[in-house]
Chains A and B, each alone.
Chain A
Amino acid sequence: MTEAVSDFNLGETIVFWVCGGLAVLGALGMIISRKAVHSALFIALTMINLAILYVANAAPFLGMVQVIVYTGAVMMLFLFVLMVVGVDSSDSLVETIKGQRFAGLLLGIGLGLLLTVGIGSALTTSGDIGLTAANDAAGGNVQGLAQLMFDDYVVAFQATAALLITAAVGAMVLAHRERWTPRKSQPELSEERFRDGGHPGNRPSPGVYARHNAVDTPALLPDGSTSLDSVPGPLRARDDVRDVDPADVDEIRELTKGVDS
């Protein structure tokens, strides 16, 4: 790979076009899709394809880290969060600012063109150097990275610790809810539950007659009404409860006709 552009072998060319194309498609899909889950999956697609390209370009460590950290850890965390929020929830894509989309498209294309043309023309005139020499110098890709990280960039490496600590403390500060009352014991809790005359048992789970697997979709009761109790409190508080398709209600009513009468 120290040679000029024309010396790419066929396999590499195919990998580039396939993975590159998929990565771009994934990126586009991420922006266009309405549902957050789809977006997250599209990012994962892009990430994996980028990882393959990294490996193909003699940077196996980077490729692996990309898969393990981004696709594996970060994206899965995203998906967990989305599960809690409700996989089916989708944001309105109606643009409220006049001209925003058009201007965004225009400027985006402009910047894209400039970068493509600029970088493209620059790259065609200069040959590529590749990583082989760098990798060989330290006895391998991972060793080379280690060398840099613990030698020249040791301060930078240490400084990222500050970043991670800040992030962790920040997440705690923003999300961790401290109690200002003593924690209630089990007897107290059960006593309380019965005292106010509410529903003493478990709440219905969204799975009962549910036609969706999302937590924001309430369970349907046998009589065709919805049970708001089946939706987690925070979603109800935020008014994020999904409406139930009337067709589903009719169908349930049909199915349960005569069962409880």
Chain B
Amino acid sequence: MTEPGIFSLLWVLIALPLAGAAILLFGGRRTDRWGPYLGVLTVCTSAVIGVLMLLGLMALPAEERSITQTVYSWIAVGSLQVDFALQLDQLSMVFVLLITIVGALIHIYSLGYMAHDPDRRKFFGYLNLFVAAMLLLVLANNYLLLYVGWEGVGLASYLLIGFWQYKPSAAAAAKKAFIINRVGDVGLSLAIMLIFVTFGSVTFGEVFGQVGEASEGTLTAIGLLLLLAAAGKSAQFPLQAWLLDAMEGPTPVSALIHAATMVTAGVYLIVRSHVIFDAAVWAATAVVVVGLITIFMGAIIGSAKDDIKKSLAGSTMSQIGYMVFAAGLGPIGYIFAIFHLLTHGVFKAGLFLGAGSVMHGMNDDVNMRRYGTLKGLMVITFVTFMAGYLAIIGIPPFAGFWSKDEIIHAAFERNALIGVATILAAGITGFYMTRMIAMTFFGKARWEEGVHPHESPKVMTIPLIILAIGSTLLGMALLFWGNIESWLEPVTGFASEPTPFPTWVYIVVTLIVVIIGAIIGWVMYARRPVPIEAPRGSWLTRAARKDLYGDAVNDALVVRPSFALSKALTIFDARGVDGFVNGLAGSVGAISGRLRRTQTGFARSYALSMVGGALLVALALVLVQS
């Protein structure tokens, strides 16, 4: 299908924010004054085009809702043919809308939030860059182009996490995010290579068409590598450690990138590649296990953190765990993974922006133990936050209820045990989210001296209101009016299996567990006074405050050994040549015979290594000769 009408603008969708980024980043100080508005404008225009495309797509019959636009032939060498081609189908459509609309709201919010930042032009440049890369990621029609977007969102993410570089913690967090993401990227690049070798193509359509011809072993390997990639980008176990630190970035960034869009790229990748996972049972099972572990890890971390953004980050991990989990369930779960992704994107963005609004009023303090009784002082923030709260814990009719309920139901379709686990996790969600609102909006004021909480300006509250409306209605809208199941079915497939009890039983049980969790949270944090110094807590709380020792494990297993190895190799390699050279640079005038002798000394040890190398080369050839 070629690109009629509005769809010929597919490339413009990406080009607009990209041009915005280029102008803002290379334009220099000239653009300081009007730059941020340009950044908002480009994304808003993309959003409008996105909506028009949705209308265009809906006007088409279901089987024609996949449009490919080849911008140009990117790499064509031998059997490798990769086009710079974009593909718009039902799955990418919903992502385009999520990215552009939530992105536009967050751009607008940032106008207020970053109003006083001297570098805000650059901030909007990075945000535009992110939007462009994320759109490329979801619109790519082949894995290689997807990888371009994948790296692009990563790059924008590091730049934004480290945006407040004067905080050493921010720079460290950016570096950490980068390193851990690279591990995931290894998975993706190896997967793409394996896909290319197996199928002779990297284009989605051609690959999925030939899946039947590949062996299950190969498909499992590809699936596991894709899972590794998804785990890196979506902060899933065992690559979860970077997301909590990523909260060092400005709050709009946390909302857009580290809650609503980029971190869900892993889910997109799995659902997009569902044909491979359908054929590789073990890989799919691994996806379920990873998702399930992360659901609990995230929830436990979320329950223990006193930093409002980190607590929300733990919650994000947990919710994405739900999506990954659902995506691992196979055709019974794909649609609900995306459904939850959409509702979560909206209500979590709302929660983060709400948290940002609270911080804005509290002199950028993030410690919830220093909040309290803000409900009367920040009415709009409070009300909108409550909408997000009710959505995330899954109270009908708020958005999260519909999507999470579907995932829990799908889990029971597969296996009662994992179903029970998801209900339990929903209970914990109820607990930690109640804890959050209790500590923030209720109880007694525990403010620092000199803090005068106040409501945020309109430019910040209007996006909050819009997102709150979304948190309330989006679930119903998508399910009943948008008919998300039949919309996505042509792309992802859909299946349903019978369960032992009628649906309402699961709904009621889940609700009861969630409410019990919420009541516990309420009793512990709203009825009792909250100490300003955090109590020592149980071993689980202590572990959770340390991100369940994610850093310690990384440090002990990866970071320290690799640095030690590098140091050792350096010494082995140069035997202190560095030190010698530095000494030489410091005393250029002092030529002495002794120094000269040391110089030849090093040349002879280099020569020695060459002799060793020659021996190695000769042995390798002679001993292994066939």
Contact = CB atoms under 8 A, between A and B. Distances in A.
A110 B597 contact: no
B608 interface: yes
Contacts of A96: 597-598, 601
B601 A111 contact: no
B608 A114 contact: no
Given A96-B597, A239-B593, A111 B618 contact: yes
A104 interface: yes
Interface stretch (B319-327, B502-510, B609-617): B609-617
B605 interface: yes
Interface in B337-352: none
B167 interface: no
B9 to A, nearest CB: 60
Contacts of B598: 96
B575 interface: yes
B578 to A, nearest CB: 16
Interface in B562-597: 575, 593, 597
Contacts of A97: 575, 601, 604-605
A126 interface: no
B622 interface: yes
B618 A92 contact: no
A238 interface: yes
A44 to B, nearest CB: 23
Contact of A118 (B597, B614, B622): B622
A115 B597 CA distance: 31
B623 to A, nearest CB: 10
Contact of B608 (A91, A104, A239, A240): A104
B459 interface: no
Given A96-B597, A96-B601, A110 B615 contact: yes
B602 to A, nearest CB: 8
Interface footprint category on A:
10 to 19
B608 A103 contact: yes
A114 B604 contact: no
A100 interface: yes
B619 interface: yes
A108 to B, nearest CB: 6
Interface string A238-261: 111000000000000000000000
Contacts of B593: 238-240
Interface residues of B, number: 15
Interface string A112-133: 0011001000000000000000
A111 B611 contact: yes
Contacts of B611: 104, 107-108, 111
Contacts of A239: 593
Mostly, the A contact residues are helix
A100 B614 CA distance: 17
B597 A92 contact: yes
A114 B601 CA distance: 26
B52 to A, nearest CB: 67
A100 B622 contact: no
A240 B591 CA distance: 13
A107 B612 contact: yes
Contacts of B597: 91-92, 96
A8 to B, nearest CB: 28
A11 B336 CA distance: 95
Interface in A51-109: 91-92, 96-97, 100, 103-104, 107-108
A114 B575 CA distance: 28
Contacts of A240: 593
B598, B608, B618: which has the most chain A beta carbons within 10 Å? B608
A100 B603 CA distance: 12
Interface string A146-181: 000000000000000000000000000000000000
A240 B592 CA distance: 11
A95 to B, nearest CB: 8
Contacts of B608: 100, 103-104, 107
A255 B581 CA distance: 52
A114 B615 contact: yes
Contacts of B604: 97, 100, 104
B355 to A, nearest CB: 60
Interface string B289-333: 000000000000000000000000000000000000000000000
Interface of B: 575, 593, 597-598, 601, 604-605, 608, 611-612, 614-615, 618-619, 622
Given A100-B604, A107-B611, A111-B611, 19 more contacts: A91-B597, A92-B597, A96-B597, A97-B575, A97-B604, A100-B601, A104-B608, A107-B612, A107-B615, A108-B611, A111-B614, A111-B615, A111-B618, A114-B615, A114-B618, A114-B619, A115-B618, A118-B618, A239-B593
5 contacts: A100-B605, A100-B608, A104-B604, A114-B615, A118-B618
- Of all A-B residue pairs in the complex, the 8 with the closest CB atoms, nearest first, are A107-B611, A111-B615, A107-B612, A110-B615, A104-B608, A96-B601, A114-B618, A97-B601
